[in-house]
Chain A
């Protein structure tokens, strides 16, 4: 799914355990990591918005 050495972050909570092709992780040296919420990231986002005049459209 990514280039060799690419990294994949999983943020959602799947309804059922997904299939993981471990061989592809190994052969392409990909990394699969979980990401739980955030820690101290709200002030960072606020700073990004304030500094760049960025207006999120999501």
Chain B
């Protein structure tokens, strides 16, 4: 099995609507409580996600970041055959690219870091080197010789490792 890292109140309007990520009392295991880098971790029963035998433990360990990517793609109504640009190929960006690719989207990755960019290339993604914060899609598309501009853009902004604010 795997586990959903979000605990919530299960009583508010958002929770009852199945949108518990918007619960005002929500928090993440590892951020708002002790994390899962311990040998054992305790979490609410509603967090349990049963896994089929076809899902390896390795893949199961990636369910959470992959779900973040899937949710972001849902938020932009991404559909197979469309083009999506992922800005940033960190862990979440990489998982989003993987989900998008599995969904049949044409994925382009823009990543300033050479190591992460190399990883994206290794995985077969078309990559782009951003030259500055002010560059826009016109120059981006022309420089990369992309045939068409993206339908969807998903961006993972840099965030500090600590002091991440709790959702309100």
Binding site for B on A (CB under 8 A): 1-3, 6-15, 18, 31, 33-50, 52-58
Contact B28 A6, beta carbon cutoff 8 Å = no
The tally of CB-CB contacts under 8 A between chains A and B is 161
**By DSSP majority rule, is chain A's interface helix, strand, loop, or mixed?**
loop
Contact B165 A13, beta carbon cutoff 8 Å = yes
Chain A: minimal CB distance from B135 (Å): 9
CA distance A22 to B80 in the complex (A): 29
Q: Does B13 contact A (CB under 8 A)?
A: no
Contact B98 A56, beta carbon cutoff 8 Å = yes
Provided the pairs A3-B148, A58-B95 are in contact, do residues A10 and B157 lie with their beta carbons within 8 angstroms? Answer: yes
Contact B2 A42, beta carbon cutoff 8 Å = yes
CA distance A21 to B151 in the complex (A): 18
Contact B155 A11, beta carbon cutoff 8 Å = yes
Contact A9 B76, beta carbon cutoff 8 Å = yes
Chain B 13-49: CB-based contact to A (< 8 A → 1; otherwise 0): 0000011111000001000000000000000000001
